[in-house]
Chain A
Amino acid sequence: MSIHDWFKRKKLQKETEYTRERLDIPGNLWVKCYKCGQAIFARDLAENLKVCPKCGYHFKLTAAERFAQLFPKNSFKEINESLTSTNFLNFKDTKDYGQRIEESIMKSNYKDAIVTVLGKLDGLEVAVGVMNFAFMGGSMGSVVGEKFARLVEAAVEKKLPVIVFSTSGGARMQESIMSLMQMAKTSAALGRLRENRLPYISILTDPTTGGVSASFAMLGDVNLAEPGALIGFAGPRVIEQTIRQKLPPGFQRSEFLLAHGMIDMVCERKDLRDTLVKLLKFFRD
């Protein structure tokens, strides 16, 4: 194998790793489960809410897929959809941040890493935020923080409960300190919500780490998690490098967090909507 082939192979591997979670199902007849390897007919997978029928692996959802599962009657309206990120620091790593934003918008079809809506869940009015892992790893910059804060403020004004689905690698480093400040902003907004005695349900999905887990994702009156989701403060690689040992199996997965008292329940996707409705009714009545 020539050195050229070696580089090519590496690149290929990277690309498949990167794109595999984003497979557009209608375009592909068969999908392979990332966990058990089972080949699944794409339509079956979609009908099964993108959960592997064999092993129960929960595939990542786009915001649109999440909304479709949550609001089958399309009973929701997006708010603050025009907010977009800007490269205010002129930050450039291997690529210019401005270019990265544009490419992410093109690739993911979303303007940033969170979509916020007001909607009706079984007739109950709610303010809902859904994060998008496909947009720069769901990282939180000024736009995510601002849309989150506005969602919460809208909920306070209209006296609505808030539901947020998190998935994020953490703070958006390209916005440097300003991304860190979003942790303060979102948490402060939740303090207001709490003071107004309006419920906040946080659903942690795969993966939720860093600045998002250390701010709004962990602050639910009720914290739910989808099965097998990676949830933690530090990423597993950082921890392994720090303590210089391998992490035990299941470490930082939803079930581990349940056992350590950090979440209220692990909720399968098929039960999620009903669980949310039950909780909302508990808070309402």
Chain B
Amino acid sequence: MAKAEQKNNTRRLLPFEKPLEELYEKLDKLKTIGSAGKMDMSEEIRLLEKRIEATRQQIFAKLNPIQVVQVARFIQRPTTLEYVSMIFDDFLELHGDRNFSDDPAMIAGVAKLEGRSVVVLGHQKGHSTKEYLARNLGMANPEGYRKALRIMRLAERYNKPIISFIDTPGAYPGLGAEERGQAEAIAKNLREMAELTVPFISIITGEGGSGGALGIAMGNRVLMMEFSIYSVISPEGCASILFRDATRASDAAVAMKITSKDLLELNVIDEIIKEPVGGAHNDPDLAAKNMKAAILRNLEPLLPLSHHELIADRYNKYRKMGIYNEG
């Protein structure tokens, strides 16, 4: 137990980062020797750190889709609340759907973006089992989607842009969720988001899981972090239902085209936000900086649009989606 906790506080590597483990161990040894003061190890440390960085770069240059899934779901991946605190000023979290309860899996609030008032909302996961439990791993219940809609309407009433952050395995498939109308909550959000009269930007930061993701993701612009995923079903779910073999998640991840690059090619998203080498968790500040630049760049052309133009822009965007034969 103690060991596990200790591991929590130190470095955590992704399963495919195994080659780095040995290098890090060496680095730790060098640092211990160096700090003992007997020998100057700074040159060796510098070289080893460089090597670690180069190895990491190599690994991340050719991630396969299921590895991207692992990065997207990584326990250390920056959460919505962290991005919000790094990108915006004066964030105030607002709570509750005014009907049933407050859903901790969905956060919402008001903030300033370079001095401009905006509304932010998104799924909230966490960095530990405890947080995962408290936040239900970002799997929102109907009240989460209804809170999101309440805040989006608030934005509309006061003419403020909306920025949504998507990071969820999916909407929660629970007993209470069904009783309280999970399907209706998501469906209504889809219809209402299409009609919003304010600029709306959605960013897939980690896991874009199906209807639970789309339920807050119908922006005028949809951006994706480089190592995030967006999919109609999890690779595991697809493998067990369509491939009839739960162990083929890796094949399903390839077949489903769920990476940012795939989705840009399919014109489902508008832009890929570059992540630091090793993924956003390796340098959250840089990840947030890139994200902020992308938000500002995409928001800018939307600001002068009229209500009517904003709705038309969004309608046309989603109306075009679909590939079929005719005649």
| A214-B183, A216-B187 known; A86 vs B324 contact (CB < 8 Å) | yes
B175 engages A247 (CB within 8 Å) = yes
B307-327 interface with A by 8 A CB criterion: 314-315, 318-319, 321-327
For window 229-253 of chain B, which residues contact chain A by CB distance below 8 Å?
230-233, 238, 241-244, 252
Minimum Cβ distance to chain A for residue B51 (Å): 38
Give Cα A189 to B314, complex, Å.
11
For residue A239, CB closer than 8 A to chain B, the reply is yes
Q: Is the CB of B191 within 8 A of A190?
A: yes
Across the interface, name the chain B residue whose C-beta is closest to A215.
Answer: B187
* Chain B contacts for A82, CB-based, 8 A: 326-327
B187 nearest in chain A by CB position: A218
When the two chains form their complex, are residues B258 and A184 in contact, meaning their CB atoms are under 8 A apart?
A: no
B214 touches A184 (CB 8 A): yes
Contact among B215, B252, B324 with A142 in the assembled complex (CB-CB below 8 Å): B324
**Is A233's CB under 8 angstroms from B178's CB?**
yes
Q: Which residues of A contact B210 (CB under 8 A)?
A: 171, 180, 211
Complex Cα gap A243–B180 (Å): 16
Which of under 10, 10 to 19, 20 to 34, or 35 or more describes the interface residues of B?
35 or more
A residues within 8 A CB of B173?
Answer: 233-234, 238-239, 242
B266: CB under 8 A from chain A? yes
18 further interface pairs, Cβ-Cβ under 8 Å (given A184-B318, A192-B315, A233-B171): A83-B325, A83-B326, A142-B322, A143-B324, A145-B321, A171-B232, A176-B255, A181-B268, A183-B190, A184-B218, A188-B190, A188-B314, A188-B318, A189-B319, A209-B183, A217-B183, A243-B175, A251-B175
A residues with a Cβ closer than 8 A to B are: 82-86, 88-89, 91-94, 141-143, 145-146, 149, 171, 173-185, 187-192, 194-195, 209-211, 213-219, 231-234, 238-239, 242-243, 247, 251-252, 260-262
Can you sample 13 A-B contacts with CB below 8 Å?
A83-B325, A84-B326, A143-B322, A143-B324, A145-B321, A173-B242, A178-B266, A209-B183, A214-B182, A215-B190, A233-B178, A247-B175, A252-B178
